[in-house]
Structure formats: structure tokens, C-alpha cells
Structure 1
Amino acid sequence: MNVKKDAWKVITFCCITSLILSYVAIGLFCLVEKGGEIARILQSPLQLFSFVREAQGQLQTILYSIPFVSIGSMLYWQRKSFLQEKYEDASEYAVHGEGKFEGMKNLINGKVFSKNNQYKKAPLETFQMARGTIVGKVPKKKQVLIMEKDTEVDNANVLIIGSPGSGKGQAYVYPNLINNTEETIICSDPKGELYRDTHLIKQDQGYRVYLVDFVDFINCHRYNPLDNVKDDIDARAVANIIAKNAAEGNRDFWTKSALSFLSAIILYVKNEYKDKANMTHVIDFAVRAGREAEYFEDVIASLTEEHPAYHLFRLASLSAGSTKMGIMSTMAQQIGIFALRKVAGLTETSDFLFEDLQKHKSIVYVKIPMDENPFEQLTAMFFDQLIEVFYKIAVRSPNNKVPIRSIFLFDEFSNIGTIEKYPKVLSTCRGLDIVMMTVVQDFGQLEDKKRYGHEMTRSIINNHDTILFLRTKDKKTAEYLSGIADDTTAKVKTSSIQHGSKNTSKSVSEQYVKRRLIPVGDLIRIKKNDCYLFVSGHDPVKLEKAWQFQVFHDFMKNYETKYRPIMLEKGMISKEEAVLLEPIDEKGNSVQQQKKEKEDNPLAKDFAVFAPVLTTTAATEKEENTSESEHVEENKEENLVSTEETTDTDSPPSSKKSSKPSESKENEEREGEDEDEDIMLAYEETSDMESQQRDVESSEPKFGELPI
């Protein structure tokens, strides 16, 4: 029961009245024991105090208990005056609604959630429980709800709603990175903490670990968007992503003509440069074509009908008319983000192929900005292309599924950018054995006009069969979830007391009323340790959050120093599995061997505990198909590269080596930063076209060097 607003008044009155009655009662005991007049006894508090203190045996016990019994009796008698009537569940009558909470037995039945769900005090024993998605903890028990891959829930997609500080990372992301051990995992990493805290664990679980850094753009694996462009459809998809994720004030530029031109340029560059093609080539073409009309006309005139970009250029030229030079100039500024020195270095080539992630279980940590993401065109393109590649692999497989079950864990989903086909992906990924886990702060992030809008947001929500609510401050989000829980019928008892001149009568009545099963206020004011789970086909359930430090104790915190040595000693992991995959070049060959100690390279320090580096599957397959003479020649080249690399142990795995003095490097980096600032001004301020062209022209990026 809840306490009424002015309950303190009634409680104070009851306590004072009880103390007065207790004082009188003790006075009566004193009168019986010592005699005298009751009036004089009550007027002498010190005499009564001495009487109580000097009393012996049971009498003293009775005298001490009188005030407590009196207060308790008075509060109980007046409880209706300061306590609100408690609602009792009467949903079975369904007078006003039949919403109710789901029983744990209906969920933890081996069909929806696993029965093997108990965690232990010893972390290594906890790993005996089932693998799968952890969504919460059973209240007051050492059990968690684990959704295994063969669950009867229609799709395993999970939508996680939690405002900042609600435990999205500690109560969902971390537990599921640790507990899913057989799937390929793609995980956005807004703070870089997920990689820092779990990459060693995942490698010891037999994973190939990749890091793509869209924040610092160094010490990571590189990604070239054009490596995934095979035809005009792929080129158009890249153009659409760039347009959809353009800066707020620049979206009006992206007309059909501009999209067609960009698609044509991408396809032209891809055909001319083959495997060397990258976005810097696209910018170079757009800059020159916008500056030199003859160059643009000569390129189009030189194309034959067999050229993949021929028809796209013709159509774009017809629709653009005399404005095509202006379109080309502005386009160079619109995609100028790819000319930034660090971005150009990251996107120069690819150190791994998306197809490799389906040849061996892998985890890709994708570091993205925490707040505003100035690289949405790049981050959205990465995930869009990765999903597309997985879909193509699944379609080509005999069972129409990806070879390795895959999980996309989108932490801070709204910071990624807009993946326009995401609603359709959610509705179809189940059949391909792909799982989407979408983490947002509230629905407002999705409904933003620069994201998905109202209708697409509804589709995104509805295509998650499981919703985990942690906390929100957004009333609209709370109202939606409260509506999902539905109304329920509650029974409430009311009582009234009537006092007459001769007697007193008391009447009690029962009423059935309508109320929300989970009121909006309960969602907004939810306790830090509580959460609500909504599973399609089942009633909602209130759970406790499955904190990783509660389920796995200190396993993650002390893994390297405490648990990893024990696991190696007991043979729970093998040294052969503890490997680091280094970047690969466009031919699938290893770029360099990982050094065991690189004192000035934090990334290398993290990986120093692992065994020698493996080459990728793609490299192995190519080596098997080559002749013996080609093997010898390649080995000589690799040995030469390895010899050159040993002269500089401070370079990151994905960067080119440089023998310049440190002072020269600092000057070069300062120059690069100045170049980046010029390009960003050109990218953001499109009103002055000629000035922006000069900025782009004066800041042409350097090829083949990733800044250190």
C-alpha cells in the first residue's frame, strides 16, 4: 500500500494519543501497586519514571511494552486514514482489461528462454550456463534469461531502450559480448571501451578480431568502400548513402542528376583503377571535371557503350543540362569528407574483406563518435555494405543462411547515421540467421526527421520481437510501452465508518476498476536495478538488470591477470587460438608481421601476449592456387618487406613505414591538420563555390600513407 499525501498528520495524532494513554495506564499500575490518588500520581512524572525503573520481573517488561503496544494498536486502527487502498489483480475477470504479468515458468521453459540459466559465484563455472542473448535477471535469484538460437520467439532481434546511465553497456552489451561465443559479431563501440575490455577475451574464444576506428582513424584496420562496388547497383547504393547522410543544410543539393553523376563517377573510377580505386579518386575526378569543362567532355566522349559508366553519364548529362559543371564542383565539396587526410588514409584500401567474416567466426569493433558524428556518410556506408554482403552470401548458400550465425550489436544506434533499408533488414534477417540488436535512448532518436521519421520508426520497433526497457526520460516512449502492456482490471476495497449517537457501523465494499498494468509514471521512475521485458506472444515481465559484474563477477576486470593464466593452465583455451589478425593488402597478402613488443604503440601492447600472427583465409586460398615458383617469388617479397619493417617498430599495423625524423613528422602532421581544416570548411560552407574549389584544390590528399 502507498501512504496518502497528508498521512503524517494522522500518524502524529496517533502517536501522541498513544503516549498519553500509555502514561495513564502506567499511572493505574502505580496506583494498584503503591496506592494513593490517581490525580497526584499523574501529576508526578518523576514518580512514575522511578516506579517503572524500580519495577521487577514481568511487571517491568509489561510497563516498558505499554507505549509500543499502544502506538501499534492505534496505527493499525487508523490505517485506513493514512494508507491508500491496494489494487489487487483481477485480470481474470477482464471487466476493464486483461493485461497481466507473465509468469517465469512460461518464459524459462527451454523454448523461449533456456533452463540452463544459473550463474555461479566462481566466474569460470558460470560459463557452464547456456550460450545466447542475456536480457535480464530473475528477481532475487541467481538466474538470468538467456535466449538461445533455437528459441521459439519469431525473431531474435532485440530493441534496448535506455537513457544515459541506465546500464545499457554494463547490463546488456558487455554480458552479451562475453556470453555469445559462436557467432560472428559486428559491434559499434562509441567509447572504444568495448574493444579495450573484451578483445582479449574474444581472441581467446577463438575469434578473429578487427578494429575499425572512425574517430582517430589510426592503429586500426582499413576499409575502402569501393572494394564492395561490383556494378552500377552497388555504385548507386553508395551514392544514396552519401546523400542520405549529408549535412543538414546540404541535402537539397542531392537531386536525381547529382546522384546519377556520383554513381557514374564511382563506376568510372572503379573500372579505371580496378582494385586500387578509392574515394579520393572520385573526389579528384569531380574537382577536375568541375574546373575543366573540356576534361569532362573528353572523358564522356571517350567512353564506349560497353563501358559500365557510359549510360549513367549520358543520363546524368541529359538531366543536368547546362548546370552539370556546377553540380560537379559542388559534389566535390559535398563528398570532401573523404579527402580529409586521415579519412583518405583509412579508406585507401581494405585490410580485410567482408566475406572473410563468414569464413571464420570474427568480431569487428567499430569505433564511432560518442556525440555528433561528422562521418555519418562513412559509418552508415560501412554497416550498409556489410549487411548487403552478408545478404548476398546467404542468398548464394544452399540453405539461404549465412555460414556463421551473425549478430549486429548497434550500441548508440542513432550515432551511426541512417541505414535506409534497416526496417526491411529487420523483417527479413531472421531467415538468414542474422540477429539485430538495436540500442537507443528513446524513440525520439529514431523519429528525428534526419533519421527515419515516424512511419519507418514504427516499422523498426515492430520488427523487434523483444524489447528490453531499462529507463527513459521521454514521456512519449513511456506511453508507447505502457500501451503495449495494455489495461488491466484491478479490485480495490473501500471501507467507511459511520458514528451514531448509540452505535458505530462499518461497511466494506469491493470495486473493479481499470488501470494500466504498467503506468507511465512507473516507467519514468523505474528503480536503477529494475527493467521491463516485452516479448512478442507473451505478457510483459518485470526483471532485474543482468549486470556483468554480478553475473560474471570480476571475470572481465581481472581476465588478463587472474583468469587467463588459469584457463591456459587448465587447457580451457589454447595458445594456438590466441592470435592477432593483421591488415592485409588488396591481394589478400599479409602486410607485415606483428612484433611482440612495440613500446610506443598501445594497440601492439594490447596484443603482445598473443602467438604469431595468422594470415587471412583469403591469402591462404590464393597461395594454394598459385604455382610453386610464384610461392618462392612472393616469399622473397614478403621477406624484403619484413626486413624493411623491422627498422621502425613504432608504426601501426595498417600504416606505411617512414624513415623521416620526428621533427619532420610533426611538421607533416601539422600541415595535414591545416589541410583537413581547409577541406572541412569547403565541405560545410557550400554558398561560396569558387572559394570552396580553391580549398579542395589546395588540399589534395596524399596517397598511400596512414597518419601515425
Structure 2
Amino acid sequence: MKRNKKKIIIIAICAVLGVVALLYICGLLGQVISNYAEWNEKGGLTGGTTIRPVDWNPAVCYSKAFTVDGLKSLAAVIVIAGLVFAVVKLHDRFDSKERDPRGFAKSKSGAYGTASWMTPKEMKETLEVSTPETAQGVILGEYEGKTVCLPKDTKLNRHIAVFGASGTMKSRAVIRNALFQALKQNESVVVTDPKGELYADTAQLYRDAEYEVKVFNLVNPEHGDSWNCMSNLGGDTLMAQVLTNVIIGNTSSGKGDHFWDNGEGNLLKALVLYVGLDRTRKPGQKHLPAVYQMLTRNTEFQLTALFDKLPLDHPARAPYNLFAQASDTVKSGIILGLGTRLQVLQNKAVQAITGSSDIDLTMPGRKKCAYYIILSDQDTTMTFLSSLFFSFLFIKLTRYADSMQNGRCAVPVNLVLDEFNNVGRIGGSADGSDFARSLSVCRSRDIRVMLAVQSLGQLQNRYPNNLWAEIVGNCDVQLMLGCTDDVSAKYFSERSGEMSIEVNSTMTVRKTIAVAQLIPQYRHTEGQGRRKLLTPDEVLRMPNDELLCIIRGYNVLKLNKFDYTKHPLSWKIRKTSVFAYNPERVYDTTDSTPDERQEENPAKEKREGNPAVKAKKLYGSAKPPSEF
């Protein structure tokens, strides 16, 4: 009641002041009219007189307002005000103050949708707009000569999904800038580098800044550091399961048979745990090549003899017992299949980079590090190793962050995953849901992910069953640099939202009876319609120097791409080739200890002593018998 009463009093005061002002203005106009008439009666220009000036005295003005000339002025003011009011109302109802350059008028009503472009004011309130020299956050693009960045103190999760076909400047306009900004903020980076170009441009910059620089080279292994995925594995059955699932999942065909996958997975897990817990082996002898050697240098009966000597509560017994329950024919097929999956370990260079550990997966969270993962963009032979690397990286960094008092890494870690689909399926789950889950929780540990793909279809193929949507949904910032496929175009068209537009139509009405229509009749209608802020066709026709930035909770932002050559750190680039990187490593090629070889002899003697067993073909069949 008090608020309404106060509002009424304010309205009354404004009305009184308005009337007073109106009468004053009408008095002034009345004087102008009467003075002009008087001057005109005296001869005007030929009479030798001048128009009497207006008297600004309020008393004179108010008295003049109630004369005939004053009332004429009042009527004229009312008519003009009415016309202005009508024009404004009709303009707001049927037209818009802003006309889109694409040739349609926007409606202010928002009846069908309120999507629009992010305004410069909203951009400055949401993002960091600064010069390249003072930019602090991740650079998203350029606007009127200034960089637009995701602020360091943003409430968004800082995960970024980048979509761009070949030639849309993903590396030039996004990836390199992200590496430069991480360097400015003294943050660690783990970056995938399919061509080795990122290493060539930035490795020396990181070394000059006293970063720990490592290279995991899966294209030319001799020019890279080594990483033993089984180092410190011990009896950690969780990590052994992740290792097994990643290898099986990334070496299976698209039409994988779960029967064989499960059998080979159980055998691989048993071998990994056996080698990892084998006290007769030195720490440097516990690695994937040793697992492969154990598989290929022992027969089925020799393996069984080794596992039978383990205690019943040994972690390797359970998975091996599941394998051992199969028939001899099936076991032969499982051994053959697993050996085929791991045949890349026959390569000496691959044995060298997986047989020892120069790379510490928790170090990026403890000190400034720059890890480069050189991937092949031609084949998938080594995909399981890159998938293993990142699967273990997420687990190790998360465990390290959880061990800290504040639950965060001591140094923020940026995972820059260029050509993300070449990494392989990350995580131990068969469907890839582990990565989506890790993405949703790693933000609180100061782990940020930027993933870049060429199209949405690539991501859908790698993570089907709507897991791709969960991954993209965990990225609060999405960048579209350009596309050539309908799937990506339709997705970003939908994400742009619907807007209300003004629709006008004109119809000519002609009578069929009339012989001639000198004056045709027209019918003009005005109303509202809807359209996407961006149609799929408009997404496909984006200029190559522009990008779309979609931020959770905001309208779409259109920016220019910021080429890395404009960044201040680009002037300090000193190129270096990854082929000049030749680290020293020590790889223990010893496959077993003397005690272990002695353990193999009884099984060997047993097999040689049985003629039936000796005559049996190990790989007689790769299919399970019908009664299995």
C-alpha cells in the first residue's frame, strides 16, 4: 500500500509539472504566433518593422497560453505528440529498430524466440576484452582489433570444444594461442601434436621458461621419451582393468565379438598382474613388452603351470581361471587373438618407449611441464598407446589433486587435444563413458580440457549412444571455425536458437469480370514469423576469417579469428625439429629371471612327455566349438 501510494504521488507530481511545462511552452508559441501576425499587419518585410521578441517571463507566458493563439499552440502540440506516439507504437508493433544485414527485420516482441547476437556490452561483461599484450585468459577470437578471452576468474568450467574442418585455422587461431596463454600464466600443458608442428614452434619457448619438456612420440619412437604404463602398477587391479579395457577397446574392429574380447581381456589382465607382482623381476622388467614376451614365449600349458603356482588370493588367479575354463580350442584362439592385438610390441622402437619411464604423469600437476604427444594421422596402429596415456593421465592427476589439501593440482594443467579423434577412446569403460565422466569432474581439480575435431560426426562415431552429446555438453564454450558437413551445420544452427522476425506480404486483388483494371487493388499484411538465428546453409557459408562462439547461458557471439602471428610470444619463436630430439633411455631387454625360466621347465617336460599333447596344434582353430 505504501509503495502504491508513493507511486501515485510521484505520478501526480510528474503530471502537474508536465501541465505547467506544457502551458509555458504554449504561451511561448502563442507569443510567436501573435507577434508574427502583428508584424505581418504592419507590412512585413516592406513595412520597415521587426518581429517583437518573445517575452520569457512565466507570468506573460501563462497568460498568453489561454488566448486564442495559445490555444492554437496547445492544439498543435497535442496533434504532433499524438502523431509521434502513434508512429512509435506502430513501429514497435510491426517493425524493429534493428534490421539484419541478411535482409530481414527483427521483431522486438519475442513471440517465437528471443535468440540474437551477443552485443558488445554483453561481451565485455562476460569475457575479457583486451590487447594481445595484456590478455590473461584463453584467447577465443578477435573483435575490433582486440582479443576476446575466457577470463581466468570465470564461473564457467573452462572446457572448450573446437569444431573446424581442414583449413579452418584450428592450429593457427586456437591451439597455438592456447599454448602461448598457458605459458604466460605458468600453467602446464599436455598437447597432442599430429604433425609435430606445435613442438617445432613452442618447445623452445617452454624450455626458455624453465618448463620440463617431454615428448611421447608414437610416429617416430626413437625421437621421443619413454613411458611405461605398468610402472608402479603392482597389484592395483583398477589400473590393470583400465589398461586391459583400453587395449582391447582400441584394438577391436567396429564389429567386435564380445566373446573373444572378454576372453582376451581376462588373459591380458592376468598376464599384466602376474608381471606387475612378480618379485623375481626387477622394476625395469615390468612392462608391456614383458607381458607380450610371456604370452609368445610360453605355450598354453606352460602358462597354466606358472599361474597354478600362484597363491589362491593372488590378483592374477581370478582372471586367469576364467580364461582357463574355456576349451583347448577356444584358449588357442584367445592366445592367437591377443598376440595379434599386441603385435605392435614386436617393434624394437616401440619396446623401447614402453619398456621404461621417462615421463611422470603426475608431474604436470606438481611443476611446470609441457608434454607433447606425437600422434599418427595416417593409421591407428599405435592408438591404444595414446589412449592408455590419456586414460592413465586423468586417473593419476585426479588422484594427485585429491591428495592435496585444497583438492587441486599445485599447477593448473591444460590438456590441449588437437585432432581429438586420433587419440582413441579414453577411459576403461567399453562405451567411452569414463571420459565423459572425467570431463565433468576434473574442472574442480584445476584440469582444463580443450578438444578439437574436424566435425561433429567424428565425435559421434567415436562416442556413440549420445555420449558425444554428454562430452560436448560438458564444454561450456564451443567454437565453430567452419564446416563442410550437414551434421555439424545443423547442430550449430539448432544451438544458435530461434528468433522472431517481421513478416510482410502484399497481395494484388483482380476481378475476373472486369475488362480492364486501371487501378488494381492491393492487400498488405504485416505480422511475425520465426527463423533460426543461423540456418544450416549460413553456417556452411561462414567466411574463413570468422568463427562462432557459443557460451553456456549467452547468445551466440561472432568473432574474427586471431592468428597466432599477432601474439607477442610468436615473435620469440625459435623453431626446433622433433627429429633433433634424441633422449637417452635405458631399456632392460631381459625377459625373465633364472628362477622364472626354471619354473617353465616342469611344464615343458610335462608337455614333451605326453605324445598326444606334443602332437596337438596350438592354433588349430580360432572359433569356439559348438558345444561351448
TM-score, with structure 2 as normaliser: 0.70
Aligned residues: CA RMSD = 2.9
Deviation at 1:531, TM superposition (A): 0.8
Alignment of 1:217-232 (within 5 A): 217-227=221-231, 229-230=233-234, 231-232=236-237
Give, as a single letter, the amino acid of the residue that structure 1 aligns with 2:127.
Answer: F
Q: Deviations over 1:53-84 (max 9, x none)?
A: xxxxxxxxxxxxxxxxxxxxxxxxxxxxxxx9
2:473 is the counterpart of 1:462: yes
Distance 1:178 1:249, change over 3 A: closer
Q: Quick check: 2:496–2:556 contact (8 Å CA) kept in 1?
A: yes
Deviation at 1:559, TM superposition (A): 3.1
Secondary structure of the 2:466 match is helix
Secondary structure of the 1:556 match is helix
| Match of residue 410 from structure 1 | 417
Alignment of 1:111-260 (within 5 A): 112-115=126-129, 117-119=130-132, 126=133, 129-138=134-143, 141-153=144-156, 155-181=157-183, 182-227=186-231, 229-230=233-234, 231-248=236-253, 251-252=256-257, 254-260=260-266
Q: Quick check: 1:333–1:692 contact (8 Å CA) kept in 2?
A: no
- Which of 389, 394, 400 matches 1:387? 394
Question: How many residues of Structure 1 are paired with residues of Structure 2 in the alignment?
Answer: 475
| Match of residue 105 from structure 2 | 88
Secondary structure of the 1:248 match is coil
Secondary structure of the 2:231 match is helix
Q: Quick check: 1:203–1:209 contact (8 Å CA) kept in 2?
A: yes
Secondary structure of the 1:170 match is helix
> Within 2, Cα distance between the matches of 1:265 and 1:557?
51
Secondary structure of the 1:226 match is coil
Deviation at 1:146, TM superposition (A): 1.0
> Within 1, Cα distance between the matches of 2:522 and 2:368?
72
| Match of residue 326 from structure 1 | 333
> Within 2, Cα distance between the matches of 1:309 and 1:544?
56
| Match of residue 422 from structure 1 | 435
2:280 is the counterpart of 1:269: no
Distance 1:388 1:245, change over 3 A: same
Deviation at 1:339, TM superposition (A): 2.1
Deviation at 1:602, TM superposition (A): 5.7
Deviation at 1:515, TM superposition (A): 1.1
> Within 2, Cα distance between the matches of 1:85 and 1:492?
14
Deviation at 1:268, TM superposition (A): 0.5
2:282 is the counterpart of 1:280: no
Secondary structure of the 2:131 match is coil
> Within 2, Cα distance between the matches of 1:379 and 1:401?
25
Q: Quick check: 1:286–1:329 contact (8 Å CA) kept in 2?
A: no
| Match of residue 400 from structure 1 | 407
TM-score, with structure 1 as normaliser: 0.63
Alignment of 1:470-481 (within 5 A): 470-481=481-492
Larger Cα-atom Rg: 2
> Within 2, Cα distance between the matches of 1:409 and 1:329?
37
Give, as a single letter, the amino acid of the residue that structure 2 aligns with 1:437.
Answer: M
> Within 2, Cα distance between the matches of 1:173 and 1:167?
9
Structure 1, unaligned runs of 5 or more: 1-83, 120-125, 562-600, 607-651, 658-687, 694-708
Distance 1:605 1:260, change over 3 A: closer
Distance 1:525 1:604, change over 3 A: closer
> Within 2, Cα distance between the matches of 1:355 and 1:558?
29
> Within 1, Cα distance between the matches of 2:330 and 2:220?
37
Percent identity of equivalent pairs? 23
- Which of 526, 534, 543 matches 2:550? 534
| Match of residue 375 from structure 1 | 382
> Within 1, Cα distance between the matches of 2:408 and 2:620?
51
Deviation at 1:454, TM superposition (A): 3.4
Distance 1:232 1:489, change over 3 A: same
Deviation at 1:511, TM superposition (A): 3.1
Give, as a single letter, the amino acid of the residue that structure 2 aligns with 1:278.
Answer: H
> Within 1, Cα distance between the matches of 2:526 and 2:618?
76
Give, as a single letter, the amino acid of the residue that structure 2 aligns with 1:209.
Answer: V
More relative contact order, 1 or 2 (CA 8 Å, 6+ apart) = 2
Secondary structure of the 2:116 match is coil
Q: Quick check: 1:411–1:438 contact (8 Å CA) kept in 2?
A: yes
Alignment of 1:455-534 (within 5 A): 455-494=466-505, 510-534=526-550
Q: Quick check: 1:351–1:654 contact (8 Å CA) kept in 2?
A: no
Give, as a single letter, the amino acid of the residue that structure 1 aligns with 2:200.
Answer: R
Distance 1:294 1:237, change over 3 A: same
Secondary structure of the 2:367 match is coil
